[in-house]
Amino acid sequence: MEFRSFLIKYAEIGVKGKNRGIFEDALVRQIRNALKRCEGEFFVRRTRGRVYVEVLSETYDYEETVEGLKTVFGIAQICPMIELKDEGFDQLCEAVISYMGEAYPDKNLTFKVNTRRARKDYPMESMAVNSEIGGVLLDAYPEMKVDVHHPDVMLNIEIREKIYVYSIEISGPGGMPVGTNGKGMLLLSGGIDSPVAGWMIAKRGVKIDAVYFHAPPYTSDRAKQKVVDLARKVAKYSGPIWLHVINFTDIQLYIYEKCPHEELTIIMRRYMMRIAEQIAADTECLGLITGESIGQVASQTMQSLAATNEVCHMPVYRPLIGMDKQEIINIAERIDTYETSILPYEDCCTIFVAKHPVTKPNLNVIRKHEHNLDEKIGELVQTALDTKELIVVEA
Ligand code: ATP
Ligand code: MG
């Protein structure tokens, strides 16, 4: 049995009223992008609230295509369909019998036939097709039963220029198509959390750019490569990511020299947020995104988050805020970032950490100690921005 087309079902974006066209166009665009990575040639089209993918090339890779479609936010279900020329009702019956025969080796099931007739000149009405096909299937497979209320298998028959038959629904990732909800700047480290945070916000239709702070020679090129690799994995879902790499070494050393070491992480995080916000503003991002989660480490207590947040003017989106580590890991595994995240290369947060970092920073004290940096910090931040490297990361 060969599936040559797919019906793409979407949930949320169906209810957007006047904006529906914009959402559907974005969905079609993202499906086309995802399919570029798959072997074969495809035609993606939308008609009256439905999106179809048709295979044009002689051959294609079914598994790879389904995997590709599973990376497109906005897709609720992927339904592989068989496609028939209209060569009379007897042919249709035969095709449906062999479809059910192949698709369901275990015939101990209940089913319902659901026909939609888009072409009104088809000689039979939908109800008649339902009952005829139902009868034919019961004759062919006596173990099967009809259940019109809660069938195990909903056998859909769509009569258009061609006839489409489908019953399999593969779950898509849900969410909304990327490009329908502005752009955000992800603070992407090499850890487990931030790639998941980026993925979660992209799932809401937000385009993602990213900033990574590295500290050579304290952090290695391999640590940076790891971040690029993580960005590539997220880009499979989010589309291309512009990754801004900031050399943070001199800023970090200066903070280390001038401020109490227990406050280093907090002050460093405040500078990361300030710099990220500046790049975000220059690149039309509407918010920052981090992988923070309350209480996970000293720099993520409520007090620490308040101190980090204080320097930001843009909204900071922290999609993992209420999640446990295991819940975050479960997503990281699902989106295939986990194995990369746990590679051992250190990121710059872990190099200069104090033995006993403050867990309840006092904002007035932090502000006061930041004044120790007044002499050179402005210049150092400017140099860091001027020397940033841009890497365009594609899946
Ligand atoms: P992650 O697993 O995402 O690294 P974490 O649990 O290690 O998070 P922290 O190191 O406290 O937590 O960092 C909190 C957040 O700050 C990260 O999720 C990330 O968004 C941002 N961040 C931390 N270090 C960097 C870095 N070197 N470059 C860019 N962003 C960073
Ligand atoms: Mg980290």
Amino acid making up residue 135: G
Residues lining ligand 1, CB < 6 A? Answer: 187-189, 191-194, 211-213, 272, 290-292, 296-297, 299-300, 347-349
What 3-state DSSP class applies to 226?
helix
Question: In the predicted model, is pLDDT for residue 13 greater than 60?
Answer: no
What span, in angstroms and rounded, lies between the C-alpha atoms of 258 and 267?
11
- pTM listed for this prediction: 0.93
Cα gap 235→61, rounded to integer Å: 21
> Which contacts of 101-107 are long-range, i.e. CB under 8 A and separated by 24 or more positions?
101/140, 101/141, 102/1, 103/1, 103/167, 103/168, 104/153, 107/141, 107/143, 107/144
Instruction: List CB-based neighbours of ion ligand 2 within 5 Å.
Output: 189, 191
Distance, CA of 32 to CA of 44 (rounded, Å):
7
To test ligand 1's pocket by mutation, which of 194, 271, 335 has the most ligand atoms within 8 angstroms of CB? 194
Burial (0-12, 13-18, 19+ Cβ within 10 Å), 180: buried
Residues 206 and 184: beta-carbon distance below 8 Å: yes
CA distance 129 to 147: 16
* Per-residue pLDDT reduced to its tens digit, 55-75: 999 999 999 999 999 999 999
CA proximity to 162, closest of 53, 45, 84: 84
Alpha-carbon span 296 to 310, nearest angstrom: 19
Task: Calculate the alpha carbon distances from 201 to 79, 262, 320 in Å.
Answer: 26, 32, 10
Residue 254 pLDDT: 97
CB count in 10 Å sphere of residue 86: 14
Ligand 1 geometric centre to CA of 188 (Å): 7
Query: How big is the chain, counted in residues?
Result: 395
- Greater confidence, 60 or 17? 60
Question: At residue 342, does pLDDT exceed 90?
Answer: yes
Cα Rg of the chain, angstroms: 27
pLDDT at 347: 67
Q: Are strands 110-117 and 145-146 parallel, antiparallel or unpaired?
A: parallel
**347 CA closest ligand 1 atom index:** 27
Tens-digit pLDDT profile for residues 271-324 = 999 999 999 999 999 999 999 999 888 789 999 999 999 999 999 999 999 999
Query: H/E element holding 366?
Result: helix 363-370
Rounded to the nearest whole angstrom, what is the distance from the C-alpha of residue 350 to the centroid of ligand 2?
7
Residue 176 Cα to chain centre, angstroms: 9
* Structure confidence at residue 19 (pLDDT): 78
38 contacts 68 by C-beta, under 8 angstroms: yes
- For atom 27 of ligand 1, the residue with the nearest CA is 213
Strands 42-47 and 50-55, sheet pairing: antiparallel
Give the integer Cα–Cα distance in Å for 298 and 303.
9
The Cα–Cα gap between 380 and 176 comes to 40
Over 70: is that where the pLDDT of 12 sits? no
Q: Is 188 annotated as a binding residue?
A: yes
Which residue's CA lies nearest to atom 22 of ligand 1?
A: 189
Give nearest CA residue, ligand 1 atom 2. Answer: 191
